[in-house]
A and B are shown apart, each in its own frame.
Chain A
Amino acid sequence: MASNFNQPLQVRAVAGWLLVTAIALIVLGSLARLPQHWRLQRKLVGKNVAKRGVLGADEIQNFIGRAGHVNLRTKLARDADRKRTSGIAAVWNFAYSGAEVMNEDARVYVNVRQSSVYFFTTFFFYPARVEMDSGGKPINSVESLGQDIRLLPPQRLGELYERGYSHVITARSGNQVVLMDLRPTLEGARP
């Protein structure tokens, strides 16, 4: 009788410990993933903000940038043998470096059709003003505007200074994005 009476309680206790074990396994699983934080921290520590930012923005090297993006992780794992560089990290570095030489009253014309360049430089260069010519259309993503984003040919970049711009972001050969100062030098020459 006594064992029959205790049986539901025993079953319940076993089920309770099973639940505790399941949660403990999840917690242990999380603790087992902390070394990836420690490895990242070892890479970040002792570096300046620019280098930490490049590493932080690099979704290939930094697991945090891949969080929640299952397809991206699958793609990166599939192409693991291919040497890849992070476009976002490159743009973060470009915008951060540019901000260090940017004046507050600068006015920058973006002459490349790339959302990340426009978005990042707008943030990093602020309060300097960063602009694109979208023909008055709202810019939600640069790529989606396609040909509505007007780009100037290289030979006409000089016109921008007369239009009030102090800098231009443009692409050189090999699609390398560069920031050019349009203001006349002391000798009166302009790039």
Chain B
Amino acid sequence: MLALLVTDSHRWPLAARAGLAFATGMTVLAVVLLAASLAGLPVRPWVGLLTLLVIVGAAVYFRRERVTRWCALQSNVAQPSAPTGPRWLDWILAAAIFVSLVTVATTALLEPLVEWDVLAIWAYKAKIFARESIATTTYLTDISKGYSHLDYPVLWPFAMSWVWSFTGITELAAIKLLSVALLLALISSFYGLLAMSVDRTTALLFTALLASIPMVQNLTIRMGADVPLSLFLMISVAAIADWFEHGLASRLKLAGLAGTGLLLTKNEGMAIFAIIVATTVATLVLTRRVQSWRPVVGWLLALPALLSAPWFLLRTTIPKVHENMAAQMYPSIAIQNLDRLPQIAALTPRYLGSYEDWLWVWVLIPLVLVLGWRSYARPAIAFLAVVPQLILLLYGYVYLVTPWDPATLIEVSLSRLAAHVAPLEIFLVAMIVGISGWLPWQNS
């Protein structure tokens, strides 16, 4: 898929190719399985395998040269010319990442599916899609199962369902292979995307930081849809930032496909995607690059709209049995609830400052964002900086307007929501540090 979409993907680090191949592959798999399910076909192993075969065939037929280079693995990889740190530091950081990943992956594989939300929502949908098609199931209109959020998107359930189509739906341990794959994809995509812009040691340093965060580790182990969402968000925004920096249109193709993943993973994905598109357009206008609107409309708007259209059309037929958050978003409601602000402001540091969940990551991030203000002169960095902060503002606004008790909602959701943007925030911090030359070896 990458070879088909991206002109120079053969020049990307192997880690980037592996992680991004997982993310783009999972998106395409979900789109195909959704189409098959709408046509009356429950999830079957051969549907995914046939999709893979078609994509590989198309890549070999249309992009033979790229595929050949792709298979050459390391030989063509472009390396940033910046000086790297001492070799011993690289080895220590790589060892720290390795130990973290092996430990977390082992826990993930030993612990079967147990998380309340995962069983009640994502895995339940996955079981249904493995036995029934969307065309024939009564589930999507069954309001007695409203707790499972009938209108939640289907990418993650389809990914689980496809794994279950090999093992059987009663298997609760092998399905966790998906969480290990997700963990590896997140870490390798992060490292790979970063290593295209900063030196190896800086990329390893910040990858070690991301791999260290207990909240990200625990959410990945539990297999909710939050980490897939953060993976798609990071890829989409990093790819657009790279487009602002280097102007390669194929980055927008990658961003569009990751954007489709966002739309098909969680309902928050719609708001996040709108923020990404609006910030992209604003950056184009402010940098007087409006003439570049064509690839933006084609790849960042039309592609996700086309690929996710079947889901959104289906969604209109699904009964809404939960509070309508869109109707809660009016400023008048926010003004009525302004007295909640001190409570939200007091609770937020309690959760983001929790050492057990985040260590000191949410202290480091704002510090670097403030100290690195000069980097915002570069449109790519400004874009990278604005998107996650707008998402955090949106989440804060939701606590202001929610009909629920904000303290209760914050207890069950704030850390999960912060995990959506954490990889992107660390990516941004790494880019600021990388281009500002703050690290000792960058001045050598």
B110 touches A45 (CB 8 A): yes
Set of chain A residues within 8 Å of B322, measured between Cβ atoms? 140
Nearest chain A CB to B100 CB, angstrom units: 7
B114 contact set on A, CB distance < 8 A: 53, 56-57, 65, 92
Q: Which residue of B lies closest to A55 (CB)?
A: B111
Q: A191 in the interface, Cβ–Cβ < 8 Å?
A: no
Of A22, A31, A70, A123, the contact of B354 (CB 8 Å cutoff): A70
Residues of B within 8 A of A55 (CB): 111
Q: How far is the CB of A118 from chain B (nearest CB, A)?
A: 8
- Is there contact, CB below 8 Å, between B209 and A139? no
Q: In the complex, which residues of chain A have a beta carbon less than 8 angstroms from the beta carbon of B148? A: 119, 122
* Interface of A (DSSP majority class): helix
- B351: chain A residues at CB < 8 Å are 68, 70
Judge whether B361 and A26 touch: CB under 8 Å. yes
The reply to whether A67 and B415 form a contact with Cβ atoms under 8 Å apart is yes
A1-44: CB near B (< 8 Å → 1, else 0) gives 00000000100110111011011011101110110011011001
Is A64 in contact with B440, judged by CB distance below 8 angstroms? no
Chain B residue with the shortest CB-CB distance to A12? B443
Q: Mark B100-123, 1 if CB is under 8 A from A, else 0.
A: 100110110011111110011001
B212 engages A38 (CB within 8 Å): no
Whole-angstrom distance from the CB of A26 to the nearest CB of chain B?
5
Partner of A134, one of B144, B173, B211, B439: B144
A34 to B104, alpha carbons, bound, how many Å? 8
Which of A16, A26, A68, A141 has a CB less than 8 Å from the CB of B438? A16
Whether B107 pairs with A64 at a CB distance below 8 angstroms is: yes
Binding site for B on A (CB under 8 A): 9, 12-13, 15-17, 19-20, 22-23, 25-27, 29-31, 33-34, 37-38, 40-41, 44-45, 49, 52-53, 55-57, 62, 64-65, 67-73, 88, 92, 99, 115-116, 118-120, 122-124, 126-127, 131-132, 134, 137-141
Question: 7 new A-B pairs (CB below 8 Å) besides A26-B209, A44-B107, A140-B147?
Answer: A37-B104, A44-B110, A49-B112, A67-B415, A120-B120, A123-B124, A126-B127
Q: Could you list 8 examples of A-B contacts with CB < 8 Å?
A: A16-B439, A16-B443, A17-B440, A20-B205, A41-B106, A68-B414, A115-B147, A140-B322
